[in-house]
């Protein structure tokens, strides 16, 4: 493996009495000189605003990039970093990642929550990027090295009906995917989570965006829950038993519906059932676990290592799905994996298209290095504008993703290109029941 080593390894290869190089001395004198925030939306999409953090050091040309994207609160996170975190970081030693993490976590008395923790996550990633560059090593080497050579991944396939989703699944299989997340629009619904909306819904959503208000979507969970066993029966008939199948409920059903669903899906042998209940209803996992063998995954909305901790220590889930952009960055991802490892619980870090390639790279560094890796969700079909802004992204081949061996996170941001695609005001939809009451997204 080709590596650009600076400092320590070069020192070992040198004279008997090691001489410290300029690079090797640098960490002891490094200071954080500036913290800059770049908000960019290269795709010009409703979910495409990325909040990028650049931590600049006192060494010329040495900086780190992190991703603090928190969809729905992007500008709050950007302002939080600029107004509240930047002053606490200037002058600090960027090599002291754990110390800075603890300092920033305890900084606001009213701590935690998605805005604070997304800001902290972005800073954390940037500090690991800097440390890797100083060491001349990719971040996964600093986390223990590769525990595997590539990362099993999956893609989402969806449709307006079973046939359309089945055809999309077959196309994904032809592209080499071994694991598929399958989503279908429920009967009588004009939209749903990760499914194509109807033309009428699309027009209403665009109209709301133009008016600068959140679009509204109708959602009734009962028909959706009744549909899902039929969907997976169809998929097994169409695709056979070899392919692994996932479904994401996205927290849109009641606790009792989640229990029924986990039991009803047992015959279809899912890879996992994702987000079966809202994060407010975590006690439901005890009920589900007592009665159903369907593997369960949860965690993408948690903002720290404490939320959902009992689901790990009581072994009530099978996959931890924390988002490294919200839970506290690489530092916390590594810790959560270590907590889950003795229970045989595997990682499946959240890697949707609404986090940037910087976070996708961070996901891969942690996933490569942990013993209890399960699967890595990862967007790989970035549009041209995103490729202009970001120097790289995880690469896809035959059902797996991988990253290179560049020092740090191995990704750079073209700030001039990012400036061409500024923040785009787009509100997330509100979900309403048929009686016009609010419901979980």
Interface ranges with Mg ion (CB under 5 A)? 248, 274-275
Would residue 250 show up in a list of annotated catalytic residues for this protein?
yes
Classified as helix, coil or strand, 135 is helix
Q: Which long-range contacts (CB under 8 A, 24 or more apart) does 190-195 make?
A: 190/217, 190/218, 191/217, 191/218, 191/219, 191/429, 192/219, 192/224, 193/248, 193/249, 193/250, 193/252, 193/441, 194/156, 194/158, 194/248, 194/250, 195/158, 195/159, 195/160
Considering beta carbons, is residue 32 or 273 the nearer one to Mg ion? 273
**CA atoms of 333 and 144, how far apart (whole Å):** 14
User: How far apart are CB 71 and Mg ion at their closest, in Å?
Assistant: 13
Q: How many CB atoms lie within 10 A of CB 236?
A: 15
Annotated catalytic residue within 63, 140, 177, 193: 193
Would residue 193 show up in a list of annotated catalytic residues for this protein?
yes
User: How far apart are CB 429 and Mg ion at their closest, in Å?
Assistant: 16
User: How far apart are CB 23 and Mg ion at their closest, in Å?
Assistant: 42
User: How far apart are CB 279 and Mg ion at their closest, in Å?
Assistant: 11
User: How far apart are CB 251 and Mg ion at their closest, in Å?
Assistant: 8
Considering beta carbons, is residue 129 or 217 the nearer one to Mg ion? 217
Q: In what order do the strands lie in the sheet with 216-218?
A: 216-218, 430-432, 438-439
Considering beta carbons, is residue 185 or 322 the nearer one to Mg ion? 322
Considering beta carbons, is residue 67 or 275 the nearer one to Mg ion? 275
Considering beta carbons, is residue 6 or 181 the nearer one to Mg ion? 181
Contact assessment for residue 8 and residue 19, using Cβ atoms and an 8 Å cutoff: no
For 435, residues 6+ apart whose C-beta sits below 8 A from its C-beta are none
Annotated catalytic residue within 250, 281, 315, 427: 250
For 6, 92, 94, 131, 257, the CA distances from 30, given in Å and listed in that order, are 15, 8, 7, 11, 54
Q: Which two tokens stand for residue 257?
A: 């519906």
User: How far apart are CB 64 and Mg ion at their closest, in Å?
Assistant: 28
Beta strands in 196-321 (DSSP E): 216-218, 244-248, 272-274, 296-298, 319-320
Hey, which residues are catalytic here?
Answer: 193, 250
């Amino acid at each position: 493996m080709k590596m650009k080593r600076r400092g320590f390894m070069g020192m070992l290869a040198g004279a008997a009495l090691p001489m410290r190089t300029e690079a090797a001395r640098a960490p002891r004198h490094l200071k954080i000189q500036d913290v800059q925030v770049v908000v960019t939306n290269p795709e010009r999409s409703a979910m495409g605003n990325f909040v990028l953090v650049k931590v600049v050091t006192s060494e010329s040309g040495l900086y780190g990039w992190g991703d603090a994207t928190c969809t729905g609160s992007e500008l709050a996170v950007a302002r939080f970093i600029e107004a509240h975190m930047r002053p606490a970081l200037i002058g600090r030693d960027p090599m002291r990642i754990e110390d800075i993490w603890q300092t920033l976590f305890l900084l606001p008395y009213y701590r935690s929550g998605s805005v604070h923790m997304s800001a902290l996550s972005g800073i954390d990633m940037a500090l690991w990027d800097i440390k890797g560059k100083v060491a001349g090593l990719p971040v996964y080497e600093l986390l223990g090295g590769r525990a595997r050579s590539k990362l099993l991944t999956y893609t989402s396939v969806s449709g307006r009906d079973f046939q359309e989703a089945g055809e999309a699944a077959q196309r994904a299989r032809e592209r080499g995917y071994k694991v598929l997340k399958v989503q279908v629009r429920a009967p009588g619904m004009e939209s749903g989570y990760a499914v194509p909306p109807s033309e009428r819904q699309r027009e209403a959503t665009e109209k709301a965006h133009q008016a600068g208000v959140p679009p509204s979507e109708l959602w009734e969970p009962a028909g959706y829950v009744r549909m899902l066993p039929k969907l997976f029966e169809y998929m097994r008939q169409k695709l056979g038993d070899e392919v692994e199948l996932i479904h994401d409920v996205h927290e849109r059903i009641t606790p009792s519906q989640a229990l029924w669903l986990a039991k009803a899906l047992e015959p279809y042998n899912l890879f996992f059932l994702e987000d079966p209940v809202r994060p407010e209803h975590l006690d439901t996992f005890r009920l589900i676990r007592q009665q159903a063998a369907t593997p369960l995954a949860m965690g993408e909305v948690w903002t720290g290592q404490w939320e959902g901790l009992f689901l790990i220590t009581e072994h009530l889930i099978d996959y931890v799905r924390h988002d490294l952009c919200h839970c506290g960055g690489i530092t916390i991802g590594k810790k959560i994996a270590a907590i889950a490892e003795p229970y045989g619980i595997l990682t499946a870090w959240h890697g949707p298209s609404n986090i940037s390639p910087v976070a996708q790279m961070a996901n891969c560094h942690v996933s490569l290095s942990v013993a209890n890796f399960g699967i890595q969700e990862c967007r790989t079909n970035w549009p041209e504008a995103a490729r202009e802004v970001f120097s790289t992204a995880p690469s896809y081949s035959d059902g797996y993703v991988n990253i290179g061996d560049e020092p740090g996170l191995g990704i750079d941001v073209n700030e001039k290109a990012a400036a061409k695609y500024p923040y785009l005001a787009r509100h997330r939809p509100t979900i309403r029941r048929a009686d016009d009451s609010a419901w979980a997204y």
